[in-house]
Structure 1
């Protein structure tokens, strides 16, 4: 039997900056697979020659979302893509948080404003301030938090996004985010490892699209409540099978209970260097998916 061929899908920035990319390729090759990194928008890339394409660091997809979704659909037509296009499409817009909430998952309370609406300062009240962000975003792109009394600034931010034809999310600022965001990583539907990282929105009223997205990363042992919340989020994902990879980002609400900030199924950093077994788990899961479809 021929060796299974795996494309580890990335971007030009991913080729340069994704520290996990060479680790993944080497681990897959060590496991007996033929693996290589491929930039997703490479002209006429021969996707059909791969048995499996695994999305990893397609970091520019937000700026080229329609193109990326079309690529996912077309690629899945000639090979197997993980995570598959329906999950990619569902997860590309953070309206999914509303769907998770309707399934009883504890999420950061989120109100969506749609293009064509005219928000006023009254829409942005909150005891501890609010966070304003676009519904299609990654790495806190075009995101800022506003302190109490700065509702006019928050409304101005939202109107700017709405005028660009973008849906807007308004969330309460949760002060206990200062204790750190938790990211729980799942591989093949099973919990793999977790990290804690420093909060991003440390300076009120500032949109900083050049900020480093992951600061102060350290291994973390999640609580049982955090594991339950993350598992509930994954159980609500509209898919007949478990995602190959998933990252559930949690913060603590004012009562100290974990709530879902984001559920990332497209190209999340999996922090494979923070756990000695993480890379092996990921490589084994990829190998199993490759073997299942040959």
Structure 2
């Protein structure tokens, strides 16, 4: 079995201008390469927008560290459709298209998933933001791009703060203090089955939990109640994806709320889930058999 691992130019090892978080790409590549090699299989990392690749030479393609897709979403989705016409793609392009715009949270909420209170903003000027504070009933909100990743173009604002320029469609969410105290809880699922969990904590002077901003993570054993909440998110999907990361934060009532469901290019934290590589390999073999 030969599998393509879709990356982007700025995460590949030979890039002259690698992203500071590209070490996460390396961790996933090592994890998968070791697991695949044990069975005589190969996984090869390459940029998703490399027009010279013949995707039909691969038995499948896994979307990995394609961490620039949010700036070229139409080109990205078109390339995935092309790749899918030549080989099996995981996760499939229909699921990626749905998950690429964070309005998918409205669909999950309609299906009974508890989400962080969110307001959807097509424009984000002074009046829009002021109304968002009122609509959410909060003096502390976070504004994110509806198509975004790695907290790029994201702002935490308190009532009365200057409103920065936000040229993209945005979403406003109530800032939940638990992100600073307990942290964000992430649950990794492979082929619908729970793999491992972790807690992601922000640096002392920040609230963002990504490594690019000084975030750190540790393995976590979730309570039965928290585990059930994360599993319910996966169960709400029509079909179990090959891989998924459920990011949750605790609400004021003590229950977890869905922050985001990552189905496109999530980092799956192999250092906190020692059996991740074999789980992905075996799940992929089952899908292809």
Establish whether TM, by shorter chain, passes 0.5. Answer: yes
Gaps of 5+ in 1: none
Alignment of 1:198-209 (within 5 A): 198-199=201-202, 202-203=205-206
Return the offset for 1:33.
1.7
The aligned counterpart of 1:173 is 175
Return the offset for 1:224.
1.9
SS in 1 for 2:284: helix
TM-score, normalised via structure 2 length? 0.87
SS in 2 for 1:45: coil
Aligned Cα root-mean-square deviation (Å)? 2.2
Task: Report whether the alignment pairs 1:6 with 2:3.
Answer: yes
**Contact kept in structure 2, 1:144 and 1:201, CA below 8 Å:** no
**Contact kept in structure 2, 1:180 and 1:196, CA below 8 Å:** yes
TM-score, normalised via structure 1 length? 0.86
Q: Distance in 1 between matches of 2:267 and 2:61?
A: 17
Alignment of 1:1-294 (within 5 A): 4-16=1-13, 17=22, 18=25, 19-115=27-123, 119-125=128-134, 126-147=137-158, 149-150=159-160, 152-153=161-162, 156-157=163-164, 160-161=165-166, 164=167, 166-178=168-180, 179-199=182-202, 202-203=205-206, 212=212, 215-237=215-237, 239=238, 241-290=239-288, 292=289
Return the offset for 1:213.
5.4
Q: Distance in 2 between matches of 1:20 and 1:232?
A: 26
SS in 2 for 1:98: helix
